Amino acid sequence: MWMEFSLSLPPMTWGRHRLDWGRQTYVMGIVNVTPDSFSGDGISPADVSREDVVKRAVEQARSFVAQGARFIDVGGESTRPGFPEVSARDEAERVVPVIEALHAELPADVIISVDTSKAEVAEKALAAGADMLNDIWGLQKDSLVASVARAYGVPVILMANMRGFERRELISDITRFLAHSLDMALKAGIPWEHLIIDPGIGFGMGLEGDLLMLHRLGELRALGRPILLGTSRKSVIGKVLGGLPVEERVEGTAATVALGIAQGADIVRVHDVREMMRVVKMSDAVVRGTFALD
């Protein structure tokens, strides 16, 4: 049922890019340009020179693309609870040189997204060559992000964030949050076809809430937009599997990716692109009936 619905969504087109929903699951590779990423994979000037940061980020992105990633998501601020917020200036100084290099060196069909909730950072990243915005507050922290997206004509990923949000019933809470974000985007003039939703696994739902959202992910199809799922290496996996550290959560991530695709996920955001690309291909063969024999 969900696959038929996904196939009914029109393609998303902008600039040189086109995404055909329902025909395949797209993979987004994560490039963290921060010293305090929860996943332990951050690249930062705290460890090496700024030039080496850019070089390492480009090498990582190239590897992800070679392994099958269509998106590269660049982030310059840790989103873990309890970590101080990075200033817009510092965040931009981290991500802009990396985005400029990726824009110059990656194949033209690769989509570069910037993971930020700050309009100032979003504007500088898009001017540097980013193709898309990924806002973990769904435009509800800095509403000017919507204006920046509209000005540049790029899509936006709207994530539900339950941190500090008054809770009643989880699925309806997330649905209401995302519906409000969608309304904000539309009022700002962003086209309906340029919007993607993300349930926000790991952002204020707790262990049981994360599991419930994964179990009922398909219900978000009622909002009529493609779904991005970001479960890679997250704490829910570590907790369910007995306290596993982030570097040992690959199999757990694979389970959530496969189950997410069965529920209707259109994009999966991951750290381990090679392994998850194999999961995606196998899942798509079963769920979508799409596969190619070499």
Q: What is the pLDDT of residues 236-273, one digit of tens each?
A: 999 999 999 999 999 999 999 999 999 999 999 999 99
Q: Which residues are within 8 A (CB) of 86 and not within 5 positions of it... i.e. 6 or more apart?
A: 34, 76, 77, 78, 94
- Cβ atoms 115, 108 nearer than 8 A: no
Q: What is the pLDDT of residues 57-95, one digit of tens each?
A: 999 999 999 999 999 999 999 876 666 789 999 999 999
What's the whole-number mean pLDDT along residues 32-52? Answer: 67
- Cβ atoms 234, 250 nearer than 8 A: no
Closest CA to 223 of 181, 191, 161, 284: 181
Closest CA to 155 of 121, 108, 202, 122: 122
Q: What is the pLDDT of residue 35?
A: 76
Q: What is the pLDDT of residue 137?
A: 97
Active site residues: 234, 269
- Cβ atoms 178, 197 nearer than 8 A: yes
- Work out whether the CA dihedral 278, 259, 284, 181 comes out positive or negative: negative
- Cβ atoms 56, 45 nearer than 8 A: no
Closest CA to 131 of 116, 104, 110: 110
How far apart are the C-alpha atoms of 70 and 24, rounded to whole Å?
A: 11
Q: What is the pLDDT of residue 275?
A: 98
Q: What is the pLDDT of residue 167?
A: 86
Which pTM was predicted? 0.93
Q: What is the pLDDT of residues 119-143, one digit of tens each?
A: 999 999 999 999 999 999 999 999 9
Residue 281, SS3 per DSSP: helix
* For the chain, domain boundaries: 2-14+21-284
- Cβ atoms 247, 237 nearer than 8 A: no
**From 39-43, 223-227, 284-288, the region with the lowest mean pLDDT:** 39-43
Confidence of residue 47 (pLDDT cuts 50, 70, 90): low
Q: Would you give the DSSP letter of residue 159? A: E
Q: Residue 1 pLDDT more than 50? A: no
Q: What is the pLDDT of residue 41?
A: 57
Q: Which residues are within 8 A (CB) of 165 and not within 5 positions of it... i.e. 6 or more apart?
A: 173, 177, 204
- Cβ atoms 231, 260 nearer than 8 A: yes
Q: What is the pLDDT of residue 39?
A: 45
Question: Which fold would CATH assign to domain 2-14+21-284?
Answer: TIM Barrel (3.20.20)
Q: What is the pLDDT of residues 172-223, one digit of tens each?
A: 999 999 999 999 999 999 999 999 999 999 999 999 999 999 999 999 999 9
- Tell me the residue length of the chain: 294
Taking the CA of residue 289 as centre, how many other CA atoms within 13 Å lie in the half-sphere pointing to its CB?
3
